[in-house]
Amino acid sequence: MSAELEASRQQLAQVEAALLLSPDDENLKSLAQGLKEVIALQAQLTTASDTTQNTKVTSQDGWTVGDTCEAVWSEDGNYYPAEIVAFEGGDQVRVRYTEYDEEDVVQIKSLRRTGKAGGDGAEAAATDQAAQPAPETKTAKTRASKESDWEQKRKKAKRKKEKESKEMKKLEQQKNKWQSFAAKTKRKKGTGSGKHGKSIFASPDDPNGKVGVGTCGIGGRGMTDYQNRGKWKFESGKEERQ
C-alpha cells in the first residue's frame, strides 16, 4: 500500500506541474482533485494496516496463526483442509482453504485439528467439536457482509486508482497529440523563402514621405519640375514666342 501511495503522490506532482502551465484546464483540475482523494484514502488505509499489524493476535484458544486444521465452509457447511490466517477478534478466525485458495471467517470453536499440535486448549476444542453438528449454512450475502471496513476501503481505493490511471493515460495521449501538432505548425512557419517584392505600402526612407498608392518606394521625393511653355504668336510669316 505504501508503494501505491508514493506512486499516487508522484502522479499528483506531475498533474500540479501541468496545471502551472494550464491553470484553466478543467480536466487537469478534476484529475488533481481525484488524486488527492485517492491519496487521502490510501494514507488512511496504510495507517489502519500498520495499526492492525502491530496489535494483531497470533495465538488464541490453543490455536496459532499458521496452524493447519479442518474448517467449515459457509457456502455448504462442509469441512475442508485449511490454514489459520489471522484472528479477527472475539471468537472469529480467518482461514484459508488450502485446496481452493479461498478464505472465510469462521468461529474458533468450529475448527477441527488435523496435524500440528497446538496445546490442550486446541485438543479440547477438537474433542468438543467432534460431537457438535456442522454450523448452519450461510448465504453468499451473509459472507460478504462479514468483510471488514478495511477490506471495503481497500477495494474502493483500488477502483478509484484504476479510474485515475485511465484518466492519466488519456491525458498523456492528448498531450502527445498536442505536442505533435505544435511541432508540425512550427515547421510550416519556417518553410518560406522570406523574399518578397517591395510593397507599395512600405514606409519610405524619407521621414517626410507618405505611404500610399503610387509611391512604390519613392514617397517623400519632390514634385517633378516642368518649364512653363509660352504661347507662339504668328504674324506675317514670322514666328515669335512669348
Q: What are the DSSP calls for 69-106, one per residue? A: EEEE-TTT--EEEEEEEEEEETTEEEEEETTTTEEEEE
Sign of CA pseudo-dihedral 162, 163, 168, 171: positive
Which neighbouring-strand residues pair with 94?
86, 105
Tens digits of residue pLDDT in 94-145: 999 988 888 889 999 999 988 544 444 444 444 544 444 444 444 444 444 5
Q: Which one of 97-101, 121-125, 181-185, 235-239 scores highest in mean pLDDT? A: 97-101
Q: What is the mean pLDDT of residues 30-40?
A: 86
Q: What is the pLDDT of residue 37?
A: 86
The CA distance from 56 to 233, in Å, is 135
pLDDT band with cut points at 50, 70 and 90 for residue 83? very high
Sign of CA pseudo-dihedral 46, 66, 99, 73: negative
Q: Which three cell numbers stand for residue 179?
A: 505536442
> For residue 23, is pLDDT > 60?
yes
Residue 108, judged by CB atoms within 10 A of its CB (0-12, 13-18, 19+), counts as: buried
> For residue 69, is pLDDT > 90?
yes
Sign of CA pseudo-dihedral 129, 133, 136, 137: positive
- How many CA atoms are closer than 13 Å to the CA of 201, on its beta-carbon side? 0
Is there a contact between 59 and 65 (Cβ–Cβ < 8 Å)? yes
- How many CA atoms are closer than 13 Å to the CA of 185, on its beta-carbon side? 6
Q: Which of 2-16, 50-64, 117-131 has the lowest mean pLDDT?
A: 117-131
The CA distance from 149 to 154, in Å, is 9
Q: Which one of 17-31, 36-50, 52-66, 137-151 scores highest in mean pLDDT? A: 17-31
Q: What is the pLDDT of residue 38?
A: 84
Where is 238: in which H helix or E strand?
strand 238-241
Q: What is the mean pLDDT of residues 193-203?
A: 53
> For residue 194, is pLDDT > 60?
no
